[in-house]
Amino acid sequence: MRWEIRYWFASVGLQGFLHVIRVIPYSWACFFIVGIGGRITWRFADKYKKKMLDNLTATYHASLTDEEKERIARESFDTMLRGFVETFYCVHFYRTKFDPWITLEGKEHLDQTLARGKGAIAVSAHLGTFTLIGAKLSAGGFHLTWILGGQPHPRLAQLWREMGEKVGAGFIIIDSLFTFHKAILRVLRKGGVMGFICDENQKQGGVPVEFLGRIMAIPVGPAVYHLKTKAPILPVFIIRQETGGHKVIISPPLEFVLSGDEEQDIFTITSQIARVMESYIKKYPGQWSWISKRRIRTRTRRKTFLEGQPNPPS
């Protein structure tokens, strides 16, 4: 009962905020939520601050001073708050206010990939306001379908789905293994774009790779569906610009040297995706979410190809 009440209030609160922002200027919301609210929250967020600093230390070790780590953590915290505001405003005002602020680089890579007729697999991370990627691609004539997993309650999952649909992005909710697998294949076989957020440790099913100074079980979805459908994998990231706008960057499809052994090839593809994510995160560290403790533990039953790491029991 407490669980239901908690998420009922959460969903009602978010839906209420979604309606209220129609009449609140964007600059006001940023001033109160990111400016004032961010300063107050940061002052008392010792628990989350420690998580972020621990993650930064695991990645950079002694190459950054404590002051630099503190600055990156604070910038990351502000990025999350601003991304929350932008995500909700985008639902109502994307075409009129947000689209002119966002540029699209590398559109030709996606055009050429989709021309092959096998669809495309877009891989990204919790970098910048990643929720705006689907809206920008939709404005550019593409339809991106995200995997929506790990939702604590159906009410929240439905809210995110409705918000995405209003800006032209689709969602596939991970509920039944069979139904969501069929839905992904349907998107790719129809020549669509299937999006995966790949920077979180998986409770099950991930493959262990080195990522930002730790061993993490990265999602295998992009590798599995690439091997199954031959759909190319393209890195797609959104970067906040110093001018205040955003840039969505679509890179050329990744190329892999495969062995023919499925497990080895999944590791090869996933490791390469991890290296691409690392390169963007280290280039824009203040735009990545360093707060998640899930990036510490590795829990998987998949075979590991990392040297010195024991394979889990079958």
Q: Which residue has the higher pLDDT, 151 or 215?
A: 215
Is the predicted pLDDT of residue 156 greater than 50, yes or no?
yes
Angle (CA) 204-205-210 rounded to 5° is 95
Closest CA relative to residue 129, chosen from 102, 166, 100, 169:
102
- Alpha-carbon distance of 200 to 250, in angstroms, equals 21
310 belongs to a structural domain? no
Closest CA relative to residue 102, chosen from 280, 236, 277, 195:
236
To the question of pTM greater than 0.95 for the whole model, the response is no
- Alpha-carbon distance of 154 to 160, in angstroms, equals 10
Q: Which residues is 148 bridged to in the sheet? A: 173
What does the DSSP 8-state code read for residue 146? E
Q: Residue 90 to residues 103, 105, 142: CA-CA distances in angstroms?
A: 15, 20, 17
Question: Confidence band (pLDDT; 50, 70, 90) for 295?
Answer: very low
Question: Confidence band (pLDDT; 50, 70, 90) for 167?
Answer: confident
178 belongs to a structural domain? yes
Q: Within its chain, how far is the Cα of 213 from the centroid?
A: 19
Rg, the chain, Cα only: 20
Percent of the chain with pLDDT over 70: 90
85 belongs to a structural domain? yes
186 belongs to a structural domain? yes
301 belongs to a structural domain? no
Secondary structure (DSSP) of 199-260? -S--SSS-EEEEETTEEEEE--HHHHHHHHH---EEEEEEEE-TTS-EEEEEPPPP-----S
Strand runs (DSSP E) across 31-143, as ranges? 102-105, 120-124
In this structure, of 171-175, 221-225, 291-295, the range with the lowest mean pLDDT score is: 291-295
Q: If you average pLDDT over every residue of the chain, what do you get?
A: 87
Instruction: Give the strand pairing for 120-124 and 233-240.
Output: parallel
Q: Would you state the pLDDT for residue 53?
A: 92
258 belongs to a structural domain? yes
Number of domains in the chain: 1
- How many beta carbons lie within 10 A of that of residue 186, not counting itself? 14
314 belongs to a structural domain? no
**CATH number, residue 178:** 3.40.1130
In this structure, of 14-23, 36-45, 193-202, 275-284, the range with the lowest mean pLDDT score is: 14-23
Question: Confidence band (pLDDT; 50, 70, 90) for 147?
Answer: confident
pLDDT in tens, 299-308: 555 666 665 5
- Alpha-carbon distance of 70 to 60, in angstroms, equals 13
Q: Would you state the pLDDT for residue 313?
A: 40
CB 110 within 8 A of CB 193: yes
Instruction: Give the strand pairing for 246-250 and 144-148.
Output: unpaired
What residues contact 170, with CB distance under 8 A and at least 6 apart?
A: 134, 143, 144, 145, 146, 164, 187
184 belongs to a structural domain? yes
60 lies in which domain range? 2-295
| Three-state secondary-structure class, residue 170 | strand
